[in-house]
Structure 1
């Protein structure tokens, strides 16, 4: 039997674990959260993603009980958690500032919550060992927090948060202090733990790659509002606005005016240039201002003129070599700079194109997403 895809948000009979209902949070005259409605389901790994000051941490702090909504209701398993103090919620929070006990060893920091719950010695020993192994802290278990690095302290905080296996774990930029390689490994470990324990994870991050890697769904936020809530592939492939397209990953944005005939759209974009061709399910009025968003990997680069719906000639202005891929910045006669990406399957010495080369770039009429504005 094929494995059932995990998508409780598509099941009308599935009840959300967390429900935000018309939640607004103000600090004086500043609105940090603006009338948000959001459902998060059991066993989800849910990411709140956005730039600094967008409201994602405030949203998480309200879940943890450290802030209360100015208006609206937050339900956890059907219960209004507004009046419930943080220590009485079935929620654990891992703080960005680690919040470790300086006088306790790494081992005792991880064991702290289990001891408070009155767990027996054997259970505590086993669980702490599991956590130490998971976060690669075995050889630091007797050290105090000030005797280890910032990245290691963050891993202790993560281990302590996971030790009690809470129903809902809130993670505020949990991997920010880790170096890139360890952060990437820890992301997969986090996903593995989340799957094994069945705990619902809500992670706050400004790192798009992190959100796209770990999350079952991502909420992209800006200025206290939810811009789009969807699975990572939908956020990337079908963003609902120029803001989301631009915030997630690398993208080419070409502004123009729409001339639509059914699903086919001609984009009038530059004087004296033939229109660009795009396909859309949306309806645009004649001459409506719109933006074509195309990912660099969907733009081909070639020495000879190709046959495609959209073909442009330009000059290579810059090359970003990233090991596995190269991104070519191609300047068109109109002044537009379009990024095209190629996988580096050959050795660097045998690269096809270099700076100042004249090249052709092309893409299909379905490669981009046509967005309003």
Structure 2
């Protein structure tokens, strides 16, 4: 039996857990969130991604109850939550600093929030043990925060945030303090924990790789607005603007003017005395319209001979080579001065490679490799 794909956002009968409806948040004259409408569904791992100052932390603080919208409606499980204090919401927030109590043990840190409620002692103990097991911290229960590693402290903060079984857990740059290797391991742990608890996670991050790894959907933000919301592969393969294409991963942007070339095909005039490129698009463009062709470097082939079959092939010379272990990125300068990046997998040892600096090369790609964008 094939597994059902998790995509509640595609189901019109599915009710969202969180609803932002025309939400605006101003601080004096400054608009931090600008007329924002967004649905987030139960069991989602939702990422808010964008540069510093784009409004993602303000959104999170509004969900947590530390800020209220200036106008618009914000709902959790169908109830308006504006004005409800943080401790009265079924929402918990995990801060970047983890905010653990240094004088309390791991066990006591996790139990802290539960003891403030009216929970029975035995129930508290059972819940703490459950959280320790979930975050693989059982054998560290008696230690103080300074006696465990950064990654373990991060898991204590997570266990404490989940102990009260919130409907929604907000994570503000939760892996910011960890080194790269540990971050990657922890991303998968976070995904496992989110899946096994079924809690809805909303994560704020400016690390695109992190958002692409953990999230069911990603919202790319800029200046208080959401530019695109889609699954990670949707954002990467079908960005809706140059801003999104450029924000996620590496990309080549070729500007030009288009004209229709039959059945969803367009030719892009991009430089004088150069043959136009051919690109397919689901979006309609008019004759003479300005457009941007966004192509990922891994979709561009690089060869010393002119390829016979390719729809788009252009000659240039190798300006630079970035060697990344598993990949090499070639920066190829075209006759008009444009620099195009092409990427190849390093399946051979360095000494066996045929292309080096200043070599004349051909770069090529097919008509469906890129995305034509209006803006």
- 8 Å CA contact 1:32–1:58 kept in 2: the answer is yes
Deviates more, 1:28-37 or 1:319-328: 319-328
SS at match of 2:175: coil
Residue equivalent to 2:47: 47
CA deviation profile, 1:83-142 (whole Å, cap 9, x unmatched)? 211101111110123222233223311221232334455554454455446556566544
Deviates more, 1:100-109 or 1:260-269: 100-109
Residue equivalent to 2:101: 101
Residue equivalent to 2:24: 24
- 8 Å CA contact 1:23–1:74 kept in 2: the answer is yes
Moved over 6 A (4+): none
SS at match of 2:307: coil
Distance 2:143 2:289 in 1: 64
Residue equivalent to 1:334: 336
- 8 Å CA contact 2:24–2:33 kept in 1: the answer is yes
Distance 1:104 1:291 in 2: 56
CA deviation profile, 1:225-254 (whole Å, cap 9, x unmatched)? 000011111111010001000001100001
Residue 53 of structure 1 deviates from its aligned partner by 0.3
Count residues in correspondence: 373
The correspondence of residues 226-241 of structure 1 with structure 2, limited to 5 A, is: 226-241=226-241
Residue equivalent to 2:294: 293
The correspondence of residues 110-129 of structure 1 with structure 2, limited to 5 A, is: 110-121=110-121, 123-125=123-125, 127-129=127-129
- Which sections of structure 2, spanning at least 5 residues, go unmatched? none
- 8 Å CA contact 2:256–2:268 kept in 1: the answer is yes
Residues 37, 287 of structure 1: CA spacing in aligned structure 2 closer, same or farther, 3 A cutoff?
Answer: same
SS at match of 2:234: helix
Residue equivalent to 2:268: 267
Distance 1:338 1:280 in 2: 21
Residue equivalent to 1:222: 222
The correspondence of residues 237-316 of structure 1 with structure 2, limited to 5 A, is: 237-262=237-262, 263-307=264-308, 308-316=310-318
CA deviation profile, 1:61-84 (whole Å, cap 9, x unmatched)? 101101000000101000000121
Residues 345, 121 of structure 1: CA spacing in aligned structure 2 closer, same or farther, 3 A cutoff?
Answer: farther
Residue 158 of structure 1 deviates from its aligned partner by 2.1
SS at match of 1:4: coil
Distance 1:268 1:253 in 2: 13
Residues 122, 350 of structure 1: CA spacing in aligned structure 2 closer, same or farther, 3 A cutoff?
Answer: farther
Distance 2:261 2:81 in 1: 51
Residue equivalent to 1:368: 370
Distance 2:154 2:189 in 1: 15
Distance 2:197 2:143 in 1: 28
Distance 1:73 1:330 in 2: 50
SS at match of 2:255: strand
- 8 Å CA contact 1:264–1:277 kept in 2: the answer is yes
- 8 Å CA contact 1:104–1:144 kept in 2: the answer is yes
Counterpart selection for 1:325 from 324, 327, 330: 327
Distance 1:118 1:364 in 2: 64
Residue 195 of structure 1 deviates from its aligned partner by 1.0
Distance 1:121 1:358 in 2: 74
Distance 1:146 1:73 in 2: 42
Residue 303 of structure 1 deviates from its aligned partner by 1.5
Distance 1:114 1:323 in 2: 48
Deviates more, 1:122-131 or 1:272-281: 122-131
CA deviation profile, 1:247-296 (whole Å, cap 9, x unmatched)? 01100001111112341111111111111111112222222111100000
- 8 Å CA contact 1:154–1:177 kept in 2: the answer is no
TM-score between both structures, scaled by the size of structure 1: 0.95
Residue 331 of structure 1 deviates from its aligned partner by 1.1
